[in-house]
Structure formats: C-alpha cells, structure tokens
Chains A and B, each alone.
Chain A
Amino acid sequence: MLTVTGLTRVFANNFDAMAGGVRDASFNLPAGTFFTLLGPSGCGKTTTLRCLAGLERPDAGFIGLDDRVLFDGASGAMVPVHLRGIGMVFQSYAIWPHMTVFENIAFPLRVSRDRSYGREEIAGMVDQALSTVGLSGYGPRPATRLSGGQQQRVALARAIVHQPKLLLLDEPLSNLDASLREDMRIELRRLQQQIGITTVYVTHDQSEALAMSDQIAVMDRGRIVQLAAPRAIYFTPANDFVARFIGAANLLVGTAEARVATGGSGMVRLVDGIGIICVFPAGIEAGQPATVAIRPESIAVAPANGPTLAGVNALPGILQDASFLGATLRCDVLAAGQLLRAVAAPNAAFAPGAAVQLQFAADAAVVVEAA
C-alpha cells in the first residue's frame, strides 16, 4: 500500500515560463495497482516519481510504503534513496555498459544492505528475473550488445530481481519504435499483473495510459486535476484540459436550458440555436454556460436525410475531409459553427461537401468544467 499526502516539490527557477515541480499531490494505492501519472511535459509527473524514488527531496508532504515512512515533511525524516528497496526503470534504461547482463541484474542483490545473498541464491534469482522478462540465457552477454528493446527488459529485470514492494517506471517506452511500443505495452502490463507489484508509471502518451492502468492521475502544471479509472477519465473528463488531453475531444459551448440535478441529463442550447441532450455530472443552474465534450468515436456520421432515432442527438453538418486510418475513417464535419471530428466505417462513401448528420447518444455528450 503506497500512501502519498500533500507531496510538494517546487523548483526555484526554470528556463521556460512555467514553474516546474509538483504541488500538493495525494493518492493511495492498494497493493498491486498499476497507477499512471499522465500529462504534458513540465506537468510535474517525473518530479513526483523521483520524489517517490528518493532522488528528489520534497519540500513538504508524506510518503509511506506499507508500514515504513519514506518521507515526512513534518518531522524532516527521509529515507535515503539507496535504502528504500524499490525498483525503478529509467527512461534511458541506465544499463551499465561495463558489465554483463547478469552483473547488471545481480547488482541490487550484491549491494543489498538488508540481507546478504549467497552466490547460488543470486544466480537463481537472476535466472528467474531473466526468464520473467523473456531473456533467458542472456546472462553472459555484454551490456553493450543489446538492442533498445532488450535493454529495456534488462532494466525491468534489474528492477524486480530483489522482489521490491514498489516499481517505478519513467516513460520507459518513449525511445522505442511505434510498433515495438504497442507490443511492449501488452508485455509490461502482463508482467506487472503476473508479479502483482504496485507500480507507478509516468507517460505523456494518453493511449498508453488508458491501455495499461488501473488508475490514472492526470496532471497539469504541477497539480493532479483528475484521479480515476481509465474509462471514467475518458468518458467523464473533469474539465476541458483533461478532455482535450486524453483524446481528440469535440468541445461545444452553449447554455443550459433548465436546472439539472447532479448526474442528471438535460438540454444545452448551442450557439446557433440547436439544442442537444447531455449529461451533467456536476449538475447546473438554468442559463449557466456549459461546455460539452463528445468523443469522436461516439459520433456516427449518417446521410443528412436519413432516419433519426429517438433519444439520439442529430446535428446537421457538412463533411469537410475524411482520412483513412485503416480501421476507421476519420471525418471532419462542419457543424454547430465549428469543425467536429467523428468516425465512420472504413468503407463509408462520403465525399467532401456532402450534407451529413452527426448522431450521438445523450450519455455520450458530457458537460465538463472549464479548466
């Protein structure tokens, strides 16, 4: 169980205009959770991770792992990095070039202060770690003769060989080719579930975060703006920063027709007078402005004079462009005064300039807070 309360680490100055660091981050992770810190560069996710590792000293807050206090701002107690007993995979993998694969992985066991490991014990544990990451037999190989993907696995093996309680991963897939990345996502997640270790993962790639995590913390300029499961983040973003960051969201602006209770549904009148039925996770008063987020995949593109279905919103529009993406046809449609994105089946026959209607269910149109 990882407990983090009020974690703050702010940097004095930075070359960009944005202030770097993390402010007041809090989360509790049950054992075995795959937890992702997600956000654009500079949002504070890496700083948070490094505070967990002990590579940064927080300004304030509390970090506890099971029954150990790793950091307590109130008393000033801090466990130094080499005594925390956690595992970490760095973005550059940090494989030591002057050692073999075996020596790299055996290192945490050899320098361990908690207990000393015998030679045979070490050999056994290293072999076990190698087979877990699918690199059995690579022990004697010099570290300089590994491909990027192999280095990554060795880094992972090294991080788990001493059976730590916490695994930290700092954008470990960003240096890999697009196709390898997808394969490794599945691999990593499978491994993590197999070992059952609490994992904190940092990335800026939202589809990676959605695919792998049990819980996601979306971060913006040092603060956690939403902490929830992937489906919740995707379908009910807390504000328009999250909505825009997580995927191509269509954002429509309008006014609420009438008062709606928390979690209820009601009508939003758009700028050109058209009304759409949306859900209001936070409720609203009549006449208040509302920003509606709709996922492109939730919008179907139908011919303009086709049938409409009850309970389904239908926005008239003109098709501007259609891109073939293999599995789908991504359509840009001019509707309600702006360019909206929708998806159609790959063999749909829509030509640019065609009149269409955009159909989406009421519960796909979610009212979000402005960031």
Chain B
Amino acid sequence: MRWFLDPRLLTSLIVGAILAVLMLPPLVMLVQGSVLSAGGSPVWTLSHFRDLFTAHRGLETMANSIVFAGGSTLLSLLIGGVMAWLVERTNAPLRGLAWVATVISLGTPYVLHVVAWLFLLGPVGPFNDLYRMLGGNGNLVQVQSMGGMILIEGFLWSPLVFLLLGATFRAANADMEEAARISGATVLQTVWRISIRLAMPAILALALFVFIRAIGAFEVPALVGIPSRIYVLTTAVYDSMTRMPPNLGYASAFAVVMVGLVSVLLHFYSRLSANAEKYQSVTGKGYRPRPFDLGAWRWAAGGLILLNFLVVLVLPLLALLWLSLQPYSRGFSLAGMKSLTADNYRAVIEAPNYLELAANSLIVAAGAASVIMLLAAFAGWIAARRGPGGRTLDQLAMLSLVFPGIVLGVAVMEVYLRVPLPIYGTLWIIGIAYVIRFMPFGMRYVYAGVLQLHIELEEAAGVAGAGYLTVLRRIVAPLLTPAMVAGWLFIFLIANKELAIAVLLASPGSQVAAVAVFDLWVNGQGGELAAFGLLWTVLMTGVAFLFFFQSRRGGTDIYGN
C-alpha cells in the first residue's frame, strides 16, 4: 500500500488522467465516426472508406497532398537552409534582416500571408500587371495552380526552417572542421565532406518534420487550392464538413487516413532525430567555429539575404498595406494612388466587433498557453527525469501531433457534440482544441529546459533535506522559468497563427482572428481584411519580439532546442 504515497507517482497519475481525458476521446471518436454509418441508428460500416477511394477521388487527393507537401518542403528547405547557412556560418552582411523577417513572420497569421500572396501573384496583381505592361499576353504567373500552392507554402515555412536549421548549424563543433583543415582539406572540401555530413541526420529529421506539417497544412490549400479545384486531404475534410448536411462519416474517414499517414511519418521522424543526436559533439569544451570569410562574395550573400527579406516579408506587407488603403481590391497603379483612403482602418477601429474579436483571440490563446504550461511543467519534468509513468506522460502529451489542425477540429467537434457540456459553439471549445493541439510544444519546451538543468542540482537539494515539492518549488521552478516563459509566448503566438483548428469550431458569437480574416476573404472584403490583419500583426509582432529576446536570453531556441 506504500506505493501510492510516493508524491511523484500521485502527481503523475493526476496529470496523466487529465491528459488522457484531453487527448484520447478525440482520437476514439474520430475512429468511431469513420466506421459508423450516418443516420439515426448507426451500424458498423466500411462504406466511408470505400467511398473515399471510389466516389470522391481519394487517391487523387492523397497524391495531391504528397506532391504539395513534398514540393513546399523542398522549397522551404532551400530558402531557409541557405539563409541559415549564410547567417550562422559566414560573415555575410545584413544578417540581422533574416532575424527580423523571422520574428515578424511569427506574429503574422498564415491566412493573412496567403491573402497577400494571392493578391501579389494573382491576375490583377502587380506581377502580372508588370508582365502585361512589358508586352506580355495574359498572365505570367498562374497562381491558382499546384505550382502556385507550392510556392506560397514554401515562402510560408522558410522562416521556421531558418530558425531550426540555424540552431543545428550553430551547434556545430569547431574542432571536427579544424581537424579536416589541418588534414589538408580546403574550406569547400571541409564543408562538403565533414560539416554537411555531420549535419545530415539533423537536416533529414527536419525535412521530415516540415513534410509532416505540410501534409496537415490548411490555409494555402483552402485559399489557393479550393478555387482551383485542387484538393488535398485537409481541404477534402473541410469540404465534407461544410456541406449541408455535413458528411461527418466521410470527413472522419479522410481524417483517419491522415492520422495513419502522419503516425507512420512520425515514427520515422523519431528514429531519425535519435540518430541525429549521436552525431552531436560529446565533449563539453567545444567552441563555435569561426565564420567563413566569403571574401568578394560577401556582397552577393548580403544581396541574397536582402532579397529574402524583401520577398518573404516586405512585399506581402506592402501588398496588405496597399489593400488596406484602397476602397476595393484593385491592382497597383498610379490611379490607385489617388484613391487612398483610411476608411478601412476607421471601420476596423470603430466597429465594436473587431475589438471583441481581438480580445477573444488574446484571451483564448493566453488561457490555453497557461493551461498547457502548467500541465507540461509537471509532465515534462517527470518525463525528463524518468520518474514513475514518465514515458506514458510523454506519449500522451505528444499524441496530438498526429492530428493535423483540421482533423482535430473535426474530432473535437464530434466529442463535444456528445458530451453534455455546454461548450459547443463557445470560445471554450476553441480553447480546449488549442490545449490539445499545442500540448506537444509545451512539453518539448519543458523537457528540453529540464534536460539543461543538471540533475545533481535537484539531488543536492534532496540530500540537503528538501522533499519533492520543495525541490520543485525552490530549485526547479526558478531555474526553469526562462524556458517556461519562452514556451508560453511561443504557444500564444502560434495559436493565433493557425486557422485550421478554429475554422470548424468558431461560431458567430465565438470568433478568433484567423477565422475572421478567412471569412472576410471569402466575403470579398479585402480592404477591411487587410486593415484588421495589419493592425493585428503589429500587435502580435510586439509579442514576437518579446519572445525572441526572451528565448535568446534563456539560451533555448525556438521549439525548445
């Protein structure tokens, strides 16, 4: 009987129960929904799955998903990788611009970015206008295509790839490369045969991670793909949920297929990253390599960084600015300069519903971030210290990684349709969906943060007479605070960026910012969308700068690396 007096085990059980209640029902309901027939008295059936492949072009949709995800992964790896290399390993000028671009993109909702690109590359946008002015016919860029989708999604993800690859390059140990130089290898030979080979496992793991996220992407397929009739798995799910009546069984079947695919990919991802850690330097004394001197090529490198900054950041923001100052959506032109107006901004600032909208978004995100960090603090600490039930807690907390955003929306909807809690159609259900969705990130932050604390710091407190709670309170919590704050800010930021979770769960009385932007686009209200979007971005960018400086100070990178 003595075992359950162990306070760590007790904590583990409580936290585990909460996590289980959060994570498991959606998964169960999803699977259930996919094998039950629609209608009043459901029976077991595989008809949904059969329909997937026959009636609704399931195979084509899956193929689209893979092509889309693969193409955008490669593009973002290319852009983000080159930027990361230039910034972390060379003496290229203007390196700070890459960081500014990343921070601002952290504050920008995805849907806003996509809208900007749709405008820029669209039939009435400046690119095609320029092309026509130079004598071309029709459109140079056909953005409503798979190519357009891949391009925009690639731009969307390159800042994050930059951050993660940057962390890998920064962790490079000098002496492996110095040993190669001493052995007679030139700089280029060293980079090719040593630096890149050593970083390869980490790069592959990252590529797989980005691919998994791209499979679950929603904004680009929704805004660009649907009008072009190019469906991927996520938009197929959305489509079947937004018909009248919603085809829940079908959406669930699609969702289950997605979950299966992502689970398999996640399995390979965890194998790859375990391998990647083996190649990291083990001796603590390693110091960072000197930056490569690019010589005359410095200016070309600086030019590349500037180009990236302009294309990925400045252009879209300028486009939004333009849109926000126009009474209706029109291309760049001198005539348009005359009709600049601040009406859209006035509408946004004066209308009460925008303020309420902003407040809702902030409250829900803040609430979810707080709940996540609280649960993750205990779960992450127990898991990182291999306490009782640690592995189970880890797995439970990471479970929602298999849900792309839209799938989670469906699953949460199914659960809370049946559960007699009056939260359906309120902000609460969005908050719960956020908690489920972003728990893995909180977990990663806490886990990595705890690992950075030498366990002897806690053991010394134990030997000195402190019980388990005292150790947590007086030793772990103060030292973990930087990681916790960074995690909180990160979750707060990305919760506001994502559209997919909230798009199915929001209702007229309970809207968040990303959904509002989406609705405005669908309704053709480009001007107000741009005005609201820019104001929102300014606000969130402030938070993003906070996050950036906090994680720099605390020593943890984004994603808790």
Contact = CB atoms under 8 A, between A and B. Distances in A.
Direct contact of A and B (CB under 8 A): yes
B296 interface: no
Interface in B439-467: 454, 456-457, 459-467
A86 to B, nearest CB: 7
Q: Is the contact region of chain A dominated by helix, strand, or loop, or is it mixed?
A: loop
B474 to A, nearest CB: 8
Contacts of A91: 456
Nearest to B477: A98
Contact of A82 (B457, B462, B475, B478): B462
A155 B456 CA distance: 12
Contact of A55 (B462, B466, B474, B475): B462
B277 to A, nearest CB: 14
Contact of A92 (B456, B462, B464): B456
Interface string A93-114: 0101110000000011001110
Contacts of A111: 461, 464-467, 470, 474
Contact of B463 (A53, A92, A112): A53
Nearest to B455: A94
A129 B527 CA distance: 71
Nearest to A53: B463
Interface string A44-59: 0000000001110000
A90 B459 contact: yes
A174 B454 CA distance: 17
Contacts of B454: 92, 94
Contact of A83 (B457, B465, B475, B479): B465
Interface string A67-84: 000000000000001111
Contact of A98 (B460, B463, B466, B478): B478
Interface in B360-391: none
A6 interface: no
A361 to B, nearest CB: 46
A340 to B, nearest CB: 36
B459 A107 contact: no
Contacts of A88: 460, 463
B354 to A, nearest CB: 43
Interface in B460-495: 460-467, 470, 474-475, 478-479
Contacts of A97: 479
Contacts of B464: 82, 107-108, 111, 158, 162
Contacts of A98: 478-479
A94 B457 contact: yes
Contacts of A54: 462-463
A317 interface: no
A86 B466 contact: no
A94 B462 contact: no
Contacts of B479: 96-98
A226 B186 CA distance: 55
B461 A55 contact: no
Contact of B475 (A53, A96, A158): A96
Contacts of B463: 53-55, 81-82, 84, 86-88
Contact of A94 (B456, B465, B474): B456
24 contacts: A55-B462, A81-B462, A82-B465, A82-B467, A83-B465, A85-B465, A86-B463, A90-B460, A92-B454, A94-B454, A94-B456, A94-B460, A96-B461, A96-B475, A107-B466, A108-B465, A111-B466, A111-B470, A111-B474, A112-B465, A113-B467, A158-B460, A158-B464, A162-B464
Interface of B: 454, 456-457, 459-467, 470, 474-475, 478-479
Q: 3 nearest interchain CB pairs?
A: A94-B460, A108-B464, A94-B456
Interface of A: 53-55, 81-88, 90-92, 94, 96-98, 107-108, 111-113, 155, 158, 162
Given A55-B462, A90-B456, A91-B456, 16 more contacts: A53-B463, A54-B462, A86-B463, A87-B463, A88-B460, A94-B454, A94-B459, A94-B460, A97-B479, A107-B461, A107-B464, A111-B464, A111-B470, A113-B465, A158-B464, A162-B464
